[in-house]
């Protein structure tokens, strides 16, 4: 009789139900991880709202997870058994570090994700947990920290002493960008729609920031900081051209999202005359994931966690994210499987 376990199953219409599902027989190269903690991402919220491509219900979302390896398939090194691991959610990235291949996808859709007591993943996507982190802290890393690492280092090429602008501080990726940039000895400035979040960011090492709800936020920021070597943004929208105004000649604008849509106007003459670099990025390669974990362990970086919720309270965590109330990652904890 196969093992069954509890999972948060998302049904059409956006309702979660805790159901028991069967653990599949492990194929070669696969591993079953008993999930101890899983983090929530905006991707999960968009899936719940039906705003994501490729939806097919019912499904178990969740891209981030940390736990213990309990079973392995043929060809997997036996020393993985019993180890504390964190999961790389990038599946089939492809052969090139420059960009993902056509088969790239993210754990949690279409594959069964981490909002469950077990998850089955390729053993190649397992990594040893940094020893200074708890399961909850390790679960906060994968999607957000990998995205941040690639944006900041692989694509953004940040260097010590450079001035960096991070827009929309408070979310998971933005706070990893702040943590990583401060550790890399960059000078960091931030924007937010909340003065409280600006204050908290400065407690974490940002030199200054401005509230983007002020219509003259770009001018105020330039008065404070001058022009930037690099800016990293995930919103896009009508304010994106202001990042061009805030960039020094030859500066870099890195972006990994467009939550406010495409910019209605992009000042191309300014971009080419000032030789600005517009750099798109998304998620990260296996090498980015490995380098991120090495950086986190070497610098003893601790994720900023807004709240930890029992597995059964996932809906509450998602609603907090939906209201943009969080400062840091929202994490779910699993109390342990119950065999049928």
What DSSP string describes 76-137?
Answer: S-GGGTT-EEEE--EE---S-SSS--TT-EETTBSS--SSBSEEEEEGGGEEEPPTTS-HHH
For domain 4-142+304-333, say whether CATH 3.90.180.10 is its number: yes
pLDDT band at 340 (very low <50, low <70, confident <90, very high): very low
| Cα–Cα dist 121/30, whole Å | 6
Cis peptide before 61 (omega within 30 of 0): no
Q: Rounded mean pLDDT of 125-149?
A: 98
**39 touches 152 (CB < 8 A):** no
Domain coordinates of the chain in residue numbers? 4-142+304-333, 157-280
Please write the tens of the pLDDT for every residue from 218-277: 999 999 999 999 999 999 999 999 999 999 999 999 999 898 999 999 999 999 999 999
Neighbouring CB atoms inside 10 A of 323's CB total 8
Q: Which CATH number fits domain 157-280: 3.40.50.720, 3.30.110.40, 3.40.605.10, 3.40.930.10?
A: 3.40.50.720
Question: Could you tell me how far CA 333 lies from the centroid of its own chain?
Answer: 18
pLDDT of the residue at 3? 82
Query: DSSP letter at 109?
Result: B
Place of tokens 């509890």: 6
pLDDT of the residue at 2? 65
56 Cβ contact list (under 8 Å, min separation 6): 110
pLDDT of the residue at 53? 80
């Amino acid at each position: 009789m196969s093992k069954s376990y509890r999972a948060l199953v998302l049904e059409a219409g956006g309702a979660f139900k805790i159901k028991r599902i069967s653990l599949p027989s492990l194929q070669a190269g696969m591993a079953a991880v008993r999930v101890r903690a899983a983090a929530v991402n905006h991707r999960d919220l968009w899936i719940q709202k039906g705003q994501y491509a490729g939806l097919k219900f019912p499904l178990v979302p969740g891209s981030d997870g940390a736990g213990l390896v309990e079973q392995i398939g043929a060809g997997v090194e036996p020393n993985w058994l019993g180890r504390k691991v964190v999961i790389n959610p990038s599946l089939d990235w492809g052969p090139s570090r420059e960009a993902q291949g056509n088969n790239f996808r993210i754990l949690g859709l279409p594959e069964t994700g981490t909002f469950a007591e077990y998850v089955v993943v390729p053993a190649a996507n397992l990594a040893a947990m940094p020893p200074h982190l708890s399961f909850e802290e390790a679960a906060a890393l994968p999607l957000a920290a990998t995205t941040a690492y690639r944006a900041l280092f692989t694509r953004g090429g940040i260097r010590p002493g450079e001035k960096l602008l991070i827009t929309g501080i408070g979310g998971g990726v933005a706070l990893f960008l702040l943590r990583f940039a401060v550790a890399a000895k960059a000078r960091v400035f931030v924007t937010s729609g909340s003065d409280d979040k600006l204050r908290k960011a400065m407690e974490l090492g940002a030199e200054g920031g401005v509230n983007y709800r002020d219509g003259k936020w770009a001018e105020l920021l330039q008065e404070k900081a001058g022009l930037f070597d690099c800016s990293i943004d995930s919103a896009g929208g009508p304010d994106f051209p202001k990042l061009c105004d805030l960039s020094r000649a030859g500066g870099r604008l890195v972006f990994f999202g467009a939550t406010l849509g495409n910019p209605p106007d992009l000042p191309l003459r300014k971009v080419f005359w000032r030789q600005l670099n517009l750099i798109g990025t998304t998620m990260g390669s296996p090498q980015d994931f490995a380098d991120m974990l090495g950086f986190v362990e070497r610098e003893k970086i601790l994720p900023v966690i807004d709240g930890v919720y029992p597995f059964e309270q996932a809906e509450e965590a998602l609603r907090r994210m939906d209201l943009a109330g969080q400062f840091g990652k929202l994490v779910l904890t699993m109390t342990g499987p119950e065999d049928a």
